[in-house]
Amino acid sequence: MFNRVILIGNLTKDPEVRYTPSGNAVTTISIAVNSRYKQGDDAKEEVLFIDASVFGKQAEACGQYLAKGRPVLIEGRLRERRWEYEGQKKSKMEVLANNVRFLSKKEGSSSSAPSGSHADGPPPDEITDLEPF
pLDDT, position 38: 84
What share of residues in the chain are helix, strand, coil (percent, to 5)?
A: 10, 55, 40
- Say if residues 30 and 11 touch (Cβ distance below 8 Å): yes
Greatest CA separation found in the chain?
56
Tell which residue, 92, 94, 112, has the closest CA to residue 102: 112
Distance CA 118, CA 112 (A): 12
14's CB contacts (< 8 A; 6+ apart) are 66, 67, 68
Residue 113 has pLDDT above 50, yes or no: no
Residue 122 has pLDDT above 50, yes or no: yes
Instruction: Tell me what the mean pLDDT of segment 111-128 comes to.
Output: 46
- Say if residues 35 and 44 touch (Cβ distance below 8 Å): no
pLDDT, position 109: 44
Q: For 15-35, what is each residue's pLDDT tens digit?
A: 999 999 999 999 999 999 998
Among 18-27, 34-43, 112-121, the range scoring the smallest mean pLDDT is 112-121
pLDDT, position 107: 54
Going along the chain from its start, the domains and CATH numbers come out as: 5-127 (2.40.50.140)
Kindly report the average pLDDT of the chain as a whole number.
Answer: 84
Confidence of residue 125 (pLDDT cuts 50, 70, 90): low
